[in-house]
Amino acid sequence: MKTQGESKREQSQLDVYSPMQAYVISRLSQAIALNKIYLQSEDKDPYLTKVMQRGIYSYFRDCQDEGVEEEAKLLLNAIASDKAVLTPQAS
């Protein structure tokens, strides 16, 4: 759950973007959050997993088209670090 301060900070960060840039960044963020929840579920359908990955890629490309590629990469890098934490390491 986000605190009120975090929500205000995120809103102030979105204020510096055009409405379309804010839209594509928020859609990418939402897709990433949904994917994270899905990957933690017990029953994963390989087809749905692929569809979700392609959707995230599509939103990433939208971010590139709108000139917010660096912000999109930061969101995707956050996923990579979460996976590194969640993935068991071989000993």
Answer for the pair 75, 28: CB distance below 8 angstroms, yes or no: yes
Find the domain containing 60 and state its range: 42-73
Answer whether residue 85 is part of any domain: no
Which of 6-15, 46-55, 63-72 shows the lowest per-residue confidence on average (mean pLDDT)?
6-15
Answer whether residue 46 is part of any domain: yes
DSSP characters over 36-85: HHHHTSS---HHHHHHHHHHHHHHHHHHHHTT-HHHHHHHHHHHHHHHHH
Which of 5-9, 27-31, 40-44, 60-64 shows the lowest per-residue confidence on average (mean pLDDT)?
5-9
Q: How many CB atoms lie within 10 A of CB 60?
A: 19
Domain count, the chain: 1
Answer for the pair 24, 68: CB distance below 8 angstroms, yes or no: yes
At residue 25, the pLDDT reads 94
What tokens does 91 get? 């000993």
Answer whether residue 88 is part of any domain: no
Please give the model's pTM, rounded to 2 decimal places.
Answer: 0.70
